[in-house]
Structure 1
């Protein structure tokens, strides 16, 4: 094989096929024939042929021109391809195809999928939150308590992780009730507490042991160890 021939082949360039399009064309409502037609259109556009005819497309494919025309009609109806009008400096009007709607639909599809995935993760976190509360309370939550949990998330905008941290704070303080947890969340939100780290540091400063003149003695002579406690319900 002559090196010159190989060089000519390489000089023809290549068509870049986005992997995202290969992975998601089915979800966009495209079949294999329409996908290949779009790739040939992309190739024509890169070569400067802005308005390839069905006959020119059929020469690249295994289907007749009439079928290429039908596929093109469907792509236009689906909003995957658009026709733009162009007027040059001499005032001559012409038309050209653009695949920009295809890329816009692909980006929109990926965005919607990302939102759905985020909602699915949040739903799992919320379901886990209900389970954790029931485990800590040792019983099923009442309808009022379930409504309160939903209010913390939907109306107050607390992340499930922050609510779990408030639950832990209530457990450490020995005040396992919804009124106490609600007060903790209120104080945190008022003071701009938005992350687990901030909540941990904010709670830790209230649990620091205060120095006393003389430690309390038990009857056995041992010093009694006390756990610092902050009552979030105090004004």
Structure 2
């Protein structure tokens, strides 16, 4: 009996230490992200997964960061390979926490990445997943900024599709899905309200306003965007794009 109690106490103590270690690694990963060291952050999340393979946060963050880092690669094959890895993390996150808004967002953002490097039926399938999983994330958390952004991006992409991609989408969706610049702008604006520092949202919102012939609104959005502090490694490049676009409108 004495040894059984000691064994239980030892196991409980080990679990506490284990949880503390994971918490410490998450804090380190979050610090690396704040310091704009995304590769270091990703490696910390991988360290967590080595000891806790079903940690939902580590999985969806690994999916997000792998996709973002991969998206900066110039070689399309290497970029697609990174998207495949991101997809594996995202689906694992969804399996571990299907009712988690971030896990659903991770699948949606990975589908969005693939939609940029595919065409025809394959792109149509990714656009479908992009919408479905963004919608699922928003059912769980209506104020999920990144899912709102993806919803806006989906509308924007559907409106601008070429004839071949539209034909593939019609077949997959059983007709052309309802999408509009109005809906894109509404979602982008909601994303901006939910997270005023989401730089990519500002740039796509400005482009949507330009397509909508609202140059005044685009200028207003871009003027706010270029004053934002960077929060991802992409943000300095996005800010440069915003400044160039702003200069072309004035």
| Higher fraction of helix | 2
| Higher fraction of strand | 1
TM-score (norm 2): 0.25
TM-score (norm 1): 0.27
Greater C-alpha radius of gyration: 1
Structure number with greater CO (CA < 8 Å, separation at least 6) is 2
